[in-house]
Chain A
Amino acid sequence: MGDESKNSTEDSTQVNQDELILAQQRQIEKEISESIPLVGELEQISSLNKEYSNDEVYLEKIKDLSSKYKSIRRTRPDGNCFFRAYSFAGLERLLDKKDEFKLFYKQAEESKNVLVSLGFQQFTVEDFYDTYMEVLKRIGDIENVEDAKKTLHYLFNEQGYSDYMVVYLRLLTSGQLQKDQDFYSCFIEGHRSVADFCHQEVEPMYKESDHIHIIAACAALNTGVRVVYMDRGNNKSVTEHDFPEGCTPSVHLLYRPGHYDILYP
């Protein structure tokens, strides 16, 4: 009996601590969502300096970065940043290239059937597909490129649309992984099947992206990306990596541990 009451005291302390952690986590999430837009405005590369004012390693690398890129567009660090940044930057670039956009649009139109044939549920895939196509259509219909880009930026900051774009790209990525599972299975750690990996690490929102996500997303959208790595490593310059290797990248992303932003040459 005595033990029981002791247990319950411990439990209630536990509760309080857990609730404090939860509350703090909520608070952090709230602060992030209030202070950082889903997809930010264009900023100069030098705007990164203020984040690292006393950090020689980073300052040196930012210098190197600014010799290669003009500007940066920050995205919200919510675990979806790769998908959101990649999707936004890819579409933004396509708006400058009408022919490529048309081709991309056509592929996107067919993508739902591809997913359904892979075994995805028609009902829910349709939900995300419809919104995805609606966004493509809306920006594609605008004659003036600058106006189209503004609309794209607006839609990517509307949580509803923006998240739907992310989900659909996650589904496409999952589809790609499952389609080529013989290849991708070599890169999956632990004893998980590709399908399990997709259900656990690709399809759920807020799950962060790894190389394998990036490779599959690039293959799914047929859009190469250059990821520029900037961390506290010893070399003085930033490291670049193209996905798929040897491609001419259409999208440039800056990676700092745990987060992707968009870069503009």
Chain B
Amino acid sequence: MSLEKKYNLKSPGVKRLMREARELAEPTEEYFAHPLEDNLFEWHFTVRGPPNTEFEGGFYHGRILLPSQYPMQPPNIILLTVSHHPESWQPSWSIRTALLALIAFMPTPAAGTIGSLDYTPEERQQLAKKSKNWECVVCGKISENLSSKSKSTPKLTKEETTLLQQIALKAEEDTNKKEEPILDKKEGSTNIFQANEVRQRMTNSHSTQNISEALANEYTETEVSLNRSGV
């Protein structure tokens, strides 16, 4: 069934997602995201590892879950071990904003950041190479999801650039460091992040809650919040 028939097109949230789907329909060099055929509220995305970092050459794939009150409530961006959940989310941000923030944040050298895997840069580079051949059941070979032509990437607006400079992904590093078993998961997952168990969580939840949630979770999922620095 087509999305048009399945959803109430009068609902502003649905209209918004259709619009975002149209905006993001063309893959860019850095990111691509699309809703699943049968569910407008679940998307898959691929982002390219930023150049001049140990993520260079890698492709990172994950899911985005949109709450029914989107965009009033933030999207959940899920990589294998990490759920990015913008903490001070604003309805005027979009999936594109969230993906750009994710890419911008990848090289940030904080403990327990992307993937929350404490890999060495060398290991990351290895994993980045391997990721080229990884296939998603829905999207196919993820390295082919992105465009190779730079012209298709929309220019960042001034506001977006400022915004992205202000956003920081706040990692709950303390929890992660305690978690030894994460190393067991290395095998088989490479650094392609595929969605694991996902839990619904509160919007505007605070980092302390995130820490304890992460601790409670068997999957050693680590919560990272998209946050503005200095908040």
Interface residues of A, Cβ cutoff 8 Å to B: 4, 7-8, 11-12, 14-15, 18-19, 22, 25-26, 119-125, 127-128, 131, 159-161, 163-164, 167, 171, 195-196, 199-200, 203-206
Contacts and interface: CB of A to CB of B under 8 A. Distances in A.
Contacts of B97: 121
Interface in B144-171: 157-160, 162, 166
A121 B12 CA distance: 18
Given A196-B166, A199-B90, 5 more contacts: A15-B213, A22-B205, A119-B158, A159-B69, A161-B12
17 contacts: A15-B212, A15-B213, A15-B215, A19-B212, A22-B205, A22-B209, A25-B202, A119-B158, A119-B162, A123-B96, A127-B71, A131-B12, A167-B72, A196-B230, A199-B90, A204-B89, A205-B91
A203 B212 contact: no
B157 A121 contact: yes
A203 B90 contact: yes
Given A25-B202, A160-B11, A160-B12, A203 B215 contact: no
B23 interface: yes
A160 B69 CA distance: 8
A115 B161 CA distance: 17
Which label, helix, strand, loop or mixed, suits the secondary structure of the A interface?
Answer: helix
Nearest to A121: B159
Contacts of A199: 88, 90, 166, 228
A22 B11 contact: no
B16 A18 contact: no
Given A12-B216, A131-B12, A160-B11, A120 B91 contact: no
